[in-house]
């Protein structure tokens, strides 16, 4: 092990730093800093200056190394972004399946390289449009899908063997994925050729996003079913996207996002090994992750670098994975919705650009950039195009993709990366000691840690300690309204009619039989996926399948902690 | 005799799970000395109206970020009226476009708070406009 710096360098640094500190003291005696405490958006205190002493304990080969090699601090790909840029993947979905299909074709024509689906709340929660619980929600914050019939419209003229599609879907993920598999089959594309991602991460739902259906334990079991099915039959599919994004949006700190997400990942890996008896190297290469890129530029970059290094250690040392692909943490990034402001919304373009840049410097594999109007409604076509162009400008004009991990080796970056990693490990150990993430959730631990952080930030905002431009500083009296997208009320009516028509023309006896098969598999522990695919092909609705889950596994109720 | 404390219910109607704002507000009301009930997410308007009456609250604060406020908020007011509890003040917040405000006011929503509204402004409004019910 070689020292990262020679003794001479460290001594020089100490001497020069001492001189600098004296200079700072002299300067401060004449005029104070603008504020007494400088911290990140996560309230992590930052020093005025970082020097070689802050990273003198680094072992270069062990802790930093090169891209494409353990511990992957500097990236998974030895070629960086030169081989290919990150995937430009804009999350989109609104109104009917036909409306969303049209938006998708517009995005592909504009140079988007992957699709990403936003579903409406009934679809996310496993209800059909004709459920009383769905009243007023149809098509509002995503596309409404009730049956395979809708799904086929959604993917009309999309080449499923060429374009990869991500679906943000959680408690009802098995059913929507079954629809994707069935649609591929109908279009003559073999399952071995389709690629994409289902989010399918329920633990973060209980922790933060609150889109849940059944209790945690059976929820994780259904996820293990999909991971097993993907491992065996859909080898190019990412069957889970273990997500910190929503944890952060709920108000967590960057370290909490990092720690809870990785601990969720550990929980899923353990469950698949225990329940499905798969070898870790059989499925781990298809695990994927999803992080937030918030406004605190350096903190985000360090979070992403730390995430890769922690996961590599987890996979190698905790789970004894041998395939280097299992050590990789591949992740998608989305800029922070919660950093955007309804006030002076054009400023959001600037925020999103800075956040997207952090995602790229953090080495993301895929990126969604928020549109300037997303704090008000689903984005208009014009706003989405600016957001997509933001990525294209970063990729093609700025030169940041020329070299890999350009901030690596910076005293500050390496020091903050180490610090965030250390703090994340503490949380991971704490949750291990609670008996794992499910029992931590039962105790309300991650939920309350996040609630505390969210409340602290809000109070800092109220006191002016933290600033949001246009909200608590640089406020303008007269706001110019911007055009926003409205979802027509007729979307709900038309969707109800389509659903009715499908129910009328399908073979109800076949559906009934299919649902019984799913029920049986739920009870025996057999994989539900093949039965789900059959059921959706026979036009069982999303809710009919999810009702089986609810009946067998029970429903989870929000404990309403605050 | 001490004055009756104002009871506030913070509620999440519909299928939307975004509860950051609702929970922050519940805490802020509690810290300001109010009695607070938080329903948790995924409540139907029927459940909210019934709970508001049963808990004898003076104010219901509805939070919705899914775009379904146009149906859900007026429905809560309507149900409270049907049950003779029209004197419970109902306010709303979340992702609500300006052009929807008037319709919600007309339906009986007394105030609407959108992204960027400070806790201070909300507490101030409640302090000035909500009194204990008889």
Residues B54-75 pLDDT 10s: 999 999 999 999 889 999 999 9
- Does residue A332 lie within any of the structural domains? yes
Residue A305 Cα, gap to closest chain B Cα (Å): 27
What are A225's two structure tokens? 């079913």
Main-chain phi, psi angles of A376, to 5 degrees: -105, -35
Instruction: Give domain status of residue A171, yes or no.
Output: yes
Chain A nearest-CA distance from B120, in A, is 8
Of A122, A205, A560, the CB nearest to B15: A122
Share of chain A above pLDDT 90, in %: 94
Distance CA A361, CA A363 (A): 5
CB A254 within 8 A of CB A342: no
Cβ proximity of B15 and A127 under 8 Å? yes
Count of CB atoms situated within 10 Å of the CB of A161: 14
- Pick from A284, A366, A346: nearest CA to A320: A284
Q: What percent of chain A has pLDDT over 70?
A: 100
Question: Does residue A312 carry a pLDDT above 50?
Answer: yes
Taking the CA of residue A139 and the nearest CA in chain B, the distance in Å comes to 9
Nearest to A303 by CA among A341, A336, A338, A337: A336
Is A192 a member of any domain? yes
pLDDT higher than threshold 80 for residue B3: no
d(CA A36, CA B129): 38
User: Which of B17, B38, B75 to probe by mutation at the A interface, max A CB count within 10 Å?
Assistant: B17
**Shortest distance, CA A464 to any CA of chain B (angstroms):** 11
Q: Do the Cβ atoms of B95 and A377 come within 8 Å? A: yes
Contact A140 B67 (CB under 8 A): yes
Q: Which chain A residues touch B114 with a CB distance below 8 Å?
A: 342
Domain that holds residue A420: 62-463
Average pLDDT, chain A: 96
pLDDT tens digits for A535-562? Answer: 999 999 999 999 999 999 999 999 999 9
- Neighbour order of strands in the sheet with A287-293: A237-238, A196-198, A165-167, A114-117, A87-92, A366-368, A331-335, A287-293, A240-243
- Cα(A137)–Cα(A208) distance, rounded to whole angstroms? 21
Task: State the nearest Cα–Cα gap between A374 and chain B, in angstroms.
Answer: 10
A469 lies within 8 A of chain B by CB = no
A340-373 pLDDT, tens per residue? 999 999 999 999 999 999 999 999 999 999 999 9
Least confident of A28-32, A106-110, A286-290, B104-108: A106-110
Exposure on the CB side of residue A478, measured as CA atoms within 13 A: 1
Asked if A135 and B66 come within 8 Å (Cβ–Cβ), the reply is no
Test A562 with B14 for CB contact under 8 angstroms.
no
Task: Give a yes or no: residue A556 inside a domain.
Answer: no
- Closest-CA distance, B108 to chain A, in angstroms, reads 18
* Closest CA in chain B for residue A127: B15
Question: Tokens representing A51?
Answer: 């020097």
DSSP string computed for A136-180? TTTTTSSB---SHHHHHHHTTT--TTTS-EEE---TTHHHHHHHH
> A375 and chain B: CB distance < 8 Å anywhere?
yes
Torsion-angle region of B30 (φ positive above 0: left; ψ -120 to 50: alpha; else: beta): alpha
In this predicted structure, the answer to whether residue A23 has a pLDDT above a threshold of 80 is yes
**A11-20 pLDDT tens trace:** 999 999 999 9
Q: Give residue-wise pLDDT tens across range A364-374.
A: 999 999 999 99
| List of residues 6+ apart from A494 with CB closer than 8 A | A96
- Residue from the list A127, A249, A342 with its beta carbon closest to the beta carbon of B115: A342
- Contact assignment for A562 to B71 by CB distance below 8 Å: no
Task: List, for residues A317-333, the tens digit of each pLDDT value.
Answer: 999 999 999 999 999 99
Count of domains forming chain A: 1
Facing A121 at nearest CB: one of B16, B27, B38: B16
The two structure tokens encoding residue A249: 């949006």
Tokens of A447: 């939920």
Q: DSSP of A369-423, one letter per residue?
A: ---TTTTTSSPPHHHHHHHHHHHHHHHHTS-TTSSSSTTTT-HHHHHHHHHHHHH
Question: Contact A137/B19, CB-based, under 8 Å?
Answer: no
CA distance B117 to chain A (A): 8
Q: Which of residues 191-210 of A touch B (CB under 8 A)?
A: 205, 209-210
pLDDT in tens, A484-535: 888 888 999 999 999 999 999 999 999 999 999 999 999 999 999 999 999 9
**Chain B residues inside the 8 Å CB shell of A342:** 114-116
Looking at residue A147, what DSSP letter applies? S
pLDDT of A2 > 70? The answer is: no
Least CB-CB distance to A455: which of B24, B97, B115? Answer: B24
What is the rounded end-to-end Cα distance, in angstroms, of chain A?
A: 49
Mean pLDDT of chain B, nearest integer: 95
Cα–Cα nearest to A482, from A354, A361, A296, A347: A347
A206-260 pLDDT per residue, tens: 999 999 999 999 999 999 999 999 999 999 999 999 999 999 999 999 999 999 9
In this complex, do A454 and B40 lie within 8 Å of one another by their Cβ atoms? no
Helix, strand, coil percentages (3-state) for chain A, rounded to 5, are: 55, 10, 40
Question: For residue B10, what is the enclosing H or E element?
Answer: strand B7-11
**Both structure tokens of A398:** 């700025």
What are B's interface residues with A at a Cβ cutoff of 8 A?
Answer: 10, 14-20, 22-24, 26-28, 36, 38-42, 44, 66-68, 70-72, 95, 97-98, 114-116, 118-120
In terms of residues, how long is chain B?
A: 134
pLDDT per position as a tens digit, A93-140:
999 999 999 999 998 998 888 899 999 999 999 999 999 999 989 999
Longest pairwise C-alpha distance within chain B: 45
CATH superfamily assigned to domain B7-129: Cobalamin-binding domain (3.40.50.280)
Number of A to B CB contacts under 8 A, please give it.
105
For A:439-468, CB contacts with B below 8 A are: 451, 454-455, 458, 461-462, 468
A562 CB neighbours in chain B (<8 A) are: 10, 22-23, 26-27, 36, 38
Tokens of A377: 């409604």
Q: What confidence tier does A1 reach under pLDDT thresholds 50, 70, 90?
A: low
Nearest CA distance, A376 vs chain B (angstrom): 6
Whether residue B1 is predicted with pLDDT greater than 50 in this model: the reply is no
DSSP A124: H
pLDDT of residue B2: 57
pLDDT at site A183: 98
What are the extents of the domains in chain B? 7-129
Q: Which of A140, A447, A473 would you mutate first to test chain B, the one with the most B CBs within 10 A? A: A140
Which of A343, A375, A451 faces B23 most closely, judged by CB atoms? A451
* CATH code, domain with A286: 3.20.20.240
CA distances from A490 to A44, A103, A132, A140, A493 (A): 48, 18, 17, 12, 5
B38 with A560: Cβ contact below 8 A? yes
Three-class SS state of A215: coil
- Which among A134, A376, A472 is the nearest to B95, CB-wise? A376
**Does B44 sit within 8 Å of A338, measured CB to CB?**
no
Residue of B nearest to A480 (CA): B98
Which one-letter DSSP state was computed for residue A239? Answer: -
* Count of positions (residues) in chain A: 562
Amino acid B134: pLDDT: 78
């Amino acid at each position: 092990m070689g020292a990262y710096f020679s003794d001479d360098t460290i001594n020089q640094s100490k001497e020069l730093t001492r001189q600098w500190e004296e200079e700072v003291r002299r300067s401060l005696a004449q005029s104070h800093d603008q504020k007494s405490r400088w911290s990140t958006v996560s309230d992590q205190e930052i020093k005025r200056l970082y020097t070689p002493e802050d990273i003198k304990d680094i072992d270069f080969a062990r802790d930093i190394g090169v891209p494409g090699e353990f511990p992957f601090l500097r990236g998974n790909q030895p070629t960086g972004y030169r081989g290919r840029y990150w995937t430009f993947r804009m999350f989109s979905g609104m109104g009917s399946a036909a409306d969303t299909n049209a938006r998708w074709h517009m995005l592909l024509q504009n140079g988007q390289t992957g699709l990403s689906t936003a579903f409406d709340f009934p679809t996310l929660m496993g209800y059909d449009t004709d459920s009383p619980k769905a009243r007023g929600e149809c098509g509002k914050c995503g596309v409404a899908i009730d049956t395979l019939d809708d799904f086929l419209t959604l993917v009309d003229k999309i080449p499923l063997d060429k374009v990869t599609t991500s679906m943000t879907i959680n408690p009802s993920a098995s059913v929507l994925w079954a629809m994707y598999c069935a649609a591929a089959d109908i279009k003559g594309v073999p399952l071995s050729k389709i690629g994409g991602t289902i989010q399918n991460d329920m633990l973060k739902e209980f922790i933060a996003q609150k889109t849940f259906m059944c209790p945690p334990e059976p929820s994780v079991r259904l996820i293990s079913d999909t991971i097993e099915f993907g491992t065996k039959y859909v080898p190019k599919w990412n069957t889970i996207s273990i997500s910190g994004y929503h944890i952060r949006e709920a108000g967590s700190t960057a370290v909490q996002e990092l720690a809870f997400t990785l601990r969720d990942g550990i929980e899923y890996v353990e469950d698949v090994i225990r329940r499905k008896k798969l070898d870790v190297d059989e499925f781990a290469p298809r695990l994927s992750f999803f992080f937030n890129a918030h406004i605190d530029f350096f903190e985000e970059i360090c979070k992403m670098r730390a995430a890769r290094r922690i996961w590599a250690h987890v996979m190698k040392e905790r789970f004894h994975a041998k395939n280097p692909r299992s050590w990789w943490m591949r992740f998608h990034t989305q800029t922070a919705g919660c950093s955007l402001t309804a006030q002076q919304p054009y400023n959001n373009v600037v925020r999103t650009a800075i956040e997207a840049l952090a995602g790229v410097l953090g080495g993301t594999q895929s990126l969604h950039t928020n549109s300037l109007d997303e704090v008000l409604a689903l984005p208009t076509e014009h706003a989405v195009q600016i957001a997509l162009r933001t990525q294209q400008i970063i990729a093609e004009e700025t030169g940041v993709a020329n070299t890999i991990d350009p901030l690596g080796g910076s005293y500050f970056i390496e020091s903050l990366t180490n610090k965030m990693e250390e703090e994340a490990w503490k949380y991971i150990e704490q949750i291990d000691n609670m008996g794992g993430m499910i029992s931590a959730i039962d105790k309300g631990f991650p939920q309350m840690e996040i609630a505390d952080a969210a409340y602290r930030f809000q109070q800092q905002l109220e006191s002016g300690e933290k600033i949001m431009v246009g909200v608590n500083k640089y406020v303008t009296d007269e706001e110019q309204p911007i055009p926003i997208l409205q979802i027509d009320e007729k979307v709900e009516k038309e969707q109800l009619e389509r659903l009715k028509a499908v129910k009328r023309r399908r073979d109800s006896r076949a559906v009934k039989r299919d649902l019984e098969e799913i029920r049986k598999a739920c009870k025996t522990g057999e994989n539900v996926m093949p039965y789900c695919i059959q059921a959706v092909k026979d036009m069982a609705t999303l809710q009919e399948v999810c009702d089986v889950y609810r009946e067998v596994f029970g429903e989870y109720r929000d404990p309403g902690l605050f | 005799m001490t004055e009756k404390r104002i009871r506030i219910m913070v509620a999440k109607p519909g299928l939307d799970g975004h509860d950051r704002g609702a929970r922050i507000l519940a805490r802020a009301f509690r810290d300001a000395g109010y009695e607070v009930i938080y329903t948790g997410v995924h409540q139907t308007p029927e459940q909210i109206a019934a709970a508001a009456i049963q808990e004898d609250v003076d104010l219901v604060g509805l939070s919705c970020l899914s775009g379904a406020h146009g149906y859900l908020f007026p429905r809560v007011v309507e149900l409270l009226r049907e049950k003779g509890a029209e004197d419970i003040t109902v306010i709303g917040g979340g992702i609500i476009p300006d052009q929807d405000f008037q319709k919600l006011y007309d339906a009986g929503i007394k105030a609407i708070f959108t992204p960027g509204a400070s806790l201070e402004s909300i507490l101030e409004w409640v302090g000035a406009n909500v009194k204990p019910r008889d």
